Amino acid sequence: MKFPNDDRLPTAATNVSASGAIAAPIQRPFVPRLPSTWPTLGPTADAAFVDVLHRLFVEGMLAELESVCSDVIANNAGSLQGRGHVIAVAMMSILESVSQFASTGERQFLRIPAFVRSYFPPEYHPIADDLNDFYRNGLIHEWFMRKVALLPGREPLTTQSNGSPVLGLLTFKEGLTISIERFLEELRTDASLRDVAAIRYRTLQQDVRG
């Protein structure tokens, strides 16, 4: 996310909605979301740092996710049918990205389930490992999912006869949103957790190539 008060990098050419849906004839500038444009973090990860993460996670990731879903629903007979797979890939990427701010050193196969059990609603806790092993790995690495399934709407989380979960895309989006909000709330009161998040933030900025 390029912050509005940061003019070091120029905006690129204007583009229409990334979803391909034409929701309005107005074109908006496409701006880079580069860690090099994020505010520099001082020696202490304080409340102002949580405000920055709120902008990255809520005003950036979740706002764009909501925009794309709304575009698709408005231009696809009110449904994510036939478009949801791409949205599911984006949501698993968001889950992995945010979970990296909540832990240090753990591999993703441990980090994502831990984040799910800590911040998602309770009904997701039994499928925390499945969200990493089958949803995240399958969607991001292979496009296909094994054993598990997705539905295009607000279908409740259910279990197939073989014990594998079936998950509604919009239902999961709500759970993902709740988890990020809860994580940000905890960051405001937990200094040690802010220090953990700061490590990831600084690492992303340090890895930028000039």
* Predicted local confidence at residue 105, as pLDDT: 75
The pLDDT profile of the chain, 210 residues, written as one tens digit per residue, is: 455 554 443 333 333 444 444 444 444 444 446 788 888 898 899 999 999 999 999 999 999 999 999 999 999 999 899 889 999 999 999 999 999 999 987 787 899 999 999 999 999 999 999 999 999 999 999 999 888 999 999 999 999 888 899 999 999 999 999 999 999 999 999 999 999 999 999 999 887 654
* Predicted local confidence at residue 130, as pLDDT: 95
* Predicted local confidence at residue 162, as pLDDT: 84
14-15 and 28-29 beta bridge pairing? antiparallel
Structure tokens at 181: 């909000």
| Distance, CA of 36 to CA of 209 (rounded, Å) | 9
pTM of the model: 0.84
* Predicted local confidence at residue 2, as pLDDT: 53
**CB-based contact 163:148 (threshold 8 Å):** no
Show Cβ contacts of residue 189 under 8 Å, excluding neighbours closer than 6 positions: none
* Predicted local confidence at residue 4, as pLDDT: 56
- CA angle 48/53/106 to nearest 5° reads 120
Show Cβ contacts of residue 207 under 8 Å, excluding neighbours closer than 6 positions: 35
| Distance, CA of 208 to CA of 205 (rounded, Å) | 6
